[in-house]
Amino acid sequence: MKRTTWVYTLKFLGIFFVCSLLTSAAFAAWVQEENPDAGLDQLRGVGGTAEDDVYAVGDYGTILHNDGTGWSEVSSFPGTRNYYGIWGSASDTVYIVGDRGEIYNYDGSAWSRLTSPNGNRFRDVWGTAADDIYAVGDKGTIVHYDGSSWDNMTAPANTPTLQEVWGTAWDNIYAVGGSSKSDPDGSYEAVIIHYDGSTWTTQWTGVEAQKLKAVWGSSETDIYAVGDYGTILHTADGTNWSEVLHGITYDGEIRSMWGSSATDIFAAGDYTTIFHYDGTGWSDVSSDIDNSTGEVPGNLKLHGMWGVVTGTGSKVYTVGGDIGTILLNDRTSSLVELVDFSAEPSNRQVLISWETAAEIDNAGFNLLRAEAAEGPYEQLNAELIAAEGAAAEGAVYRFIDNSVQNRTTYYYMLEDIDADGISTQHGPVTVTPLLIYEILP
C-alpha cells in the first residue's frame, strides 16, 4: 500500500509554514581526466554543445575536444595564442576567443579566423543564438556578432576589463569584471553591467572584490556573480545585488561557475577549491576530488567550468592549472517514475497531487507556480518535500495551495531533486480556481 503525504501551505500573520523535511545531499567525486596534450599547457576555458561535444582551450593555441569517449588534441586549429572563451550553439557553430582580439569559428568541417573589430584581449564569449553572440574582454571591450559581422558595442563609461558574459535572452545579458593591469585608470572596483536589448548600463560596483570573474543564473532573476577573496554576490530580482555571507574561510579568487538548477550550483577557483550550493547554503566540496587516478595538486587555479544536463544526470567540467588539469564530476540523477501529476481547483484553493511508481536516489520534491506557462515560476514550499517512495514502491503526495485568487489561471511545475542536488522538472499543469467550487476539506 502506498503512503500518502499531505503538505499544506498556511498563512497566519504573514508567516509561511510547510510541513516537510529537508534532506541533505551527497556529491559524486571529481575525477581527473587524461589530457592528451604532451606539453600540458595551461587550460583557461571549457565549454560545449552536448556531452559528446566538449572543448577545452588554453595557452599557445591549445585546443582539446571530447567526443564522449575521451579527450584529443585539435591539430587542425590554426591559432597559436592564448585562448580563454569557448561557446557553441551546435556542433557546427562553435566560437573561440583570445589574445589580440582573435576570434575563431568552427563550421563543422574547418576552423577559420574571423575579422575582429579591435585588438583587445577577449576573455569570454557567449550567445543566445548563432546570429546573436557577444564577446567581452580587456578595457571594457564588448563586441557583438549578428550572423554576418562582429561590431563594437558601447560599454558604460569607465568600464574596466570584463571577465565573463552570460544571459537568459537577447534583452537580458550580464557581464562582470573589474580591475586589471590593462585598465589605464587603475581602478579597484568590481563591476556588473547589464544589457536590455538596446543599451549596456552599470548595475553594480563595489570594493568587496577587485574583480568579479564569473556570472551564472538559474533564471532571469536568480543570478550569482563570483570573484576575488571568495566574493559571492546574488540578485533575486535581476537588479539589486547583495553579498552572500557564506561563512567559508577562503581568500582566493573564485574563477568559474555553472549550475543545473537553483539548487545545484558549482563554483571553482584558486587552491584547487570547489564550492557547491544546494539551495540552502554554500559549502566547500574540494574533498570530493578523487586522487586515485593521479594526484591533483592543491595549488591549481581552476579557470573554467561548464556542464550539461544529460539523460541520466549531469556532467560538470572544470579546467585550469599550469599542467592542463581537467576534472569531471559525472553524476547520475534520481529515477522518478511519475504516474500522475494533476491540479484540482476549488474556492481560493488548489489541490496539487502527484503519484510515483518508483523513486531511486530521490531526495524530494519542489512545487513551482506561475501565472504564465513560460514563467517566471516561484517555489511554493519553503523546504524540500521529503521523498516517501522507494525503488520497488512509489508514493502519493498531496499539496494544498491556499495562496491563490479566484478567476486567475495558475501553472504548476513539479521538480524532483536527487541526492546530488540535480533537478528534473515535470509539467506544467494548469488550473483556475472559482467561487463556484467547494472549499477543500
Q: State pLDDT tens for residues 331-376.
A: 776 678 899 999 999 998 999 999 999 898 899 999 999 998 777 8
Low-confidence residues in the chain, pLDDT < 50: 8-26
Q: Is residue 438 part of a domain?
A: no
Is the same domain home to 212 and 144? yes
Is the same domain home to 37 and 79? yes
Q: How many domains does the chain have?
A: 2
Is the same domain home to 304 and 345? no
Is the same domain home to 217 and 245? yes
Is the same domain home to 35 and 95? yes
The pLDDT score that the predictor gives to residue 288 is 87
Q: Is residue 441 part of a domain?
A: no
Pairing of strands 289-290, 30-32: parallel
Of the residues 315, 332, 349, which one is the last residue of a structural domain?
332
Of the residues 313, 332, 351, which one is the last residue of a structural domain?
332
Is the same domain home to 257 and 368? no
CA 419-383-218 angle, to 5 degrees, is 70
Is the same domain home to 102 and 233? yes
Which residue range forms the structural domain that includes residue 226? 30-332
Is the same domain home to 235 and 339? no
For the chain, how many residues are written?
A: 441
Is the same domain home to 155 and 250? yes
pTM of the model: 0.75
The pLDDT score that the predictor gives to residue 344 is 93
Of the residues 265, 300, 332, which one is the last residue of a structural domain?
332
Is the same domain home to 297 and 357? no
Q: Is residue 265 part of a domain?
A: yes
Is the same domain home to 120 and 209? yes
> For all residues of the chain together, what is the average pLDDT?
87
The pLDDT score that the predictor gives to residue 25 is 35
- CATH number, domain with residue 14: 2.60.40.10
Is the same domain home to 303 and 265? yes
- CATH number, domain with residue 145: 2.130.10.10
